[in-house]
């Protein structure tokens, strides 16, 4: 007993506070409870919303939407375009995007507003491609009012895969590439201010955990699964967005927020716990369609009160950025997302991984040029 007392008395605060390596079991249970609760009650909570969601006048809006050839992204791009916005479909498959535009033009032939849609290629599995896309857009010296980082992957049941840049694929597509795109497009977003960065996130972040010393989940400390890769990448996105929101002064006119589309009809059941798999058998009633899932992003992109809400959170020094739930109401992300220390660690590690200097945002705000490690001519 004496030895134990002596040992503990010599411990420093740093020694006592062991670095967190995973979610506690109570946090894990709370996360899954929240996920199941949302699955069962999201339709009731969102019953006040129209489908499709009516949008305010947006004829002067220019929006870039990543991953807009299928699912939620397709619905976001289509509804923005049919409401009069200038939509840039940032996609890997440009042929599929062009075919969609032709279809939308036929469907919209009776509308008084002509569609203003264009296609630009970007591959989020290549950070070189992301840099080239941003450079091409910024070269226009045109304003950008809304960037919607919608593209994402959830490779159900697949073994761990890495991009050619050396990063786990969920991490790169769901977090690193959108982070790089958001920062590099800041000059255009400032030119178009008041403007918004809308990150399509997921309720799955509630069961995510980010180890900033092992963001690739390759050290062996945690067993990789597609669920681990996906949920962790979505949590990292919220954490990074929260610090980006703090780094952007109110006078920049750029709002940063994350949205949850709800649980949208997709084939994810194979990688989920048995309780959630059972709930998925009730898909026809409980699970949202892509059109319903698009509503929170459309709300975040167009509602006139969103910038005021974001500014209020920033003025109050709220630990996380604005988060809009599937019912288009402000919500709180997970308890883990509120960790300011971890969020700053995610911020620093992300900038390192995407090849940007630590003061990239400040330099861009000052109108200076920022060089990225990627996208350079070989």
> Known catalytic residues?
230
Quickly count: other Cβ atoms within 10 Å of residue 21's Cβ: 11
Sign of CA dihedral 252, 193, 320, 220: negative
| Helix and strand counts by DSSP (H, E) for the chain | 17, 7
Strands 254-259 and 146-149: unpaired
Bridge partners (DSSP) of residue 43 are: none
> What whole-number distance in Å separates Cα of residue 39 and Cα of residue 326?
11
Q: Which helix (H) or strand (E) holds 43?
A: helix 25-45
Structural tokens at position 182: 């958001």
> What whole-number distance in Å separates Cα of residue 154 and Cα of residue 140?
33
> What whole-number distance in Å separates Cα of residue 145 and Cα of residue 253?
10
Structural tokens at position 16: 């006592």
> What whole-number distance in Å separates Cα of residue 84 and Cα of residue 113?
6
CA angle 127, 372, 184 (to 5 degrees): 75
């Amino acid at each position: 007993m004496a030895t134990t007392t002596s040992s503990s008395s010599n411990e420093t605060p740093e020694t006592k506070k062991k670095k967190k390596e995973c979610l506690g079991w109570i946090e894990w249970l709370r996360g899954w409870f929240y996920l199941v609760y949302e699955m069962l009650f999201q339709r009731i909570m969102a019953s006040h919303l129209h489908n499709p969601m009516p949008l305010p006048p947006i004829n002067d809006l220019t929006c870039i939407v990543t991953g807009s050839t299928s699912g939620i992204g397709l619905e976001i791009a289509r509804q923005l375009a049919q409401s009069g916005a200038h939509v840039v479909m940032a996609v890997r498959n440009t042929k599929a995007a062009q075919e969609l535009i032709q279809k939308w033009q036929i469907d919209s032939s009776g509308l008084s507003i002509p569609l203003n849609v264009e296609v630009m290629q970007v591959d989020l599995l290549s950070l070189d491609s992301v840099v080239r896309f941003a450079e091409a857009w910024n070269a226009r010296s045109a304003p950008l009012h809304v960037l919607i980082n919608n593209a994402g992957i959830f490779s159900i049941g697949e073994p761990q895969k890495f991009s050619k840049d050396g990063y786990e694929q969920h991490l790169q597509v769901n977090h690193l590439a959108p982070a790089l795109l958001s920062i590099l497009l800041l000059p255009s977003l400032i030119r178009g201010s008041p403007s918004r960065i809308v990150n399509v996130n997921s309720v799955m972040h509630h069961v995510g955990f980010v180890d900033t010393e092992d963001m690739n989940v390759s050290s062996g400390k945690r067993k990789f699964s597609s669920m681990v890769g996906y949920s962790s990448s979505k949590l990292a996105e919220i954490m990074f967005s929260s610090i980006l929101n703090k780094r952007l002064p109110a006078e920049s006119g750029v709002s940063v927020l994350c949205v949850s589309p709800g649980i949208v009809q997709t084939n994810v059941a194979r990688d989920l716990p048995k309780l959630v798999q059972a709930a998925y058998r009730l898909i026809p009633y409980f699970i949202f369609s892509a059109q319903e899932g698009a509503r929170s992003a459309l709300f975040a992109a167009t509602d006139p009160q969103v910038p005021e809400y974001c500014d209020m959170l920033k003025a109050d020094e709220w630990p996380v950025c604005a988060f809009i739930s599937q019912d288009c109401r402000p919500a709180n992300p997970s308890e883990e997302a509120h960790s300011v220390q971890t969020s700053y660690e995610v911020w620093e590690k992300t900038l390192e991984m995407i090849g940007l200097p630590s003061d990239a945002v400040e330099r861009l705000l000052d109108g200076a040029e920022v060089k990225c490690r990627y996208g350079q001519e070989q």
